Amino acid sequence: MSVRQSLLAILDQGPCYGYQLRAEFDRRTGSTWPLNVGQIYNTLDRLERDGLVEKGDVDEQGHVYWQITDDGSAEVAAWLDAPVERTQGTRDELAIKLAIAATLPGIDVAAVIQRQRSASLRQLQELNRAKYAGSNPDGPEELAWSLVVDSMIFAAEAEARWLDHTEQRLARHPHRTMGLELSTETPKRGRPARTEASDAEAALK
């Protein structure tokens, strides 16, 4: 998620000071991605360095208002016009955790999956309760917040389905009770060797 572009998009509506930017970001996302003020100002400093925002007026309370430049507005338009590119690799902690657990001897991966499923279903229930707790379902803030919550609900549902799939696949795997022993080969320096899967991915590009 790009904090940089999100803050720029808000500034494209009009000048804001730091705390105001954080409040606007929270208001539009239901505080599902909390930002601290230090992160806001660090981002603003980088945006100013890149010529996308500039300092403007200072009010009676000493708030410095930041305003977007023409280049900043152009970047917002480009961001909104472009699709979000998903990386080919994954840094999803759960996927990596289960992949490692499945290769370790003596690990009850089914128990690991069951504990995760229980936690995922609890989160899904909490998200569904939160979704219907809004006071003004027809308001713009509620709409923006519900879009984020809907995304989290779909992700939690997909995670639960993936856990079911993983459990069934491991139960059918002929080597489910065997671990992956440490390799005795000396690792080669440099990039990892290409595999058939990576070659296939490269051919599709």
At 51, the pLDDT band (50, 70, 90 cuts) reads very high
Q: Cβ neighbours of residue 189 under 8 Å, at least 6 residues apart?
A: none
pLDDT at 158: 92
Class of domain 3-81 as given by CATH: mainly alpha
Per the structure block, which two tokens stand in for 64?
A: 């410095």
141 pLDDT band, cuts 50/70/90, is: confident
Confidence of residue 198 (pLDDT cuts 50, 70, 90): low
Lowest model confidence (mean pLDDT) among 67-76, 116-125, 177-186: 177-186
Question: What digits encode the pLDDT tens for the residues 82-106?
Answer: 887 777 666 778 888 888 888 877 7
Average of per-residue pLDDT across 26-39: 82
Higher pLDDT among residues 88 and 107, named by residue: 107
pLDDT at residue number 76: 93
Give me Rg for the CA atoms of the chain.
Answer: 23
Backbone angles phi, psi at 53, to 5 degrees: -140, 165
Confidence band for 191, pLDDT divided at 50, 70 and 90: low
Question: Rounded to 10 degrees, what is the CA torsion of 101, 109, 197, 174?
Answer: 120
Instruction: Note the pLDDT of residue 113.
Output: 92
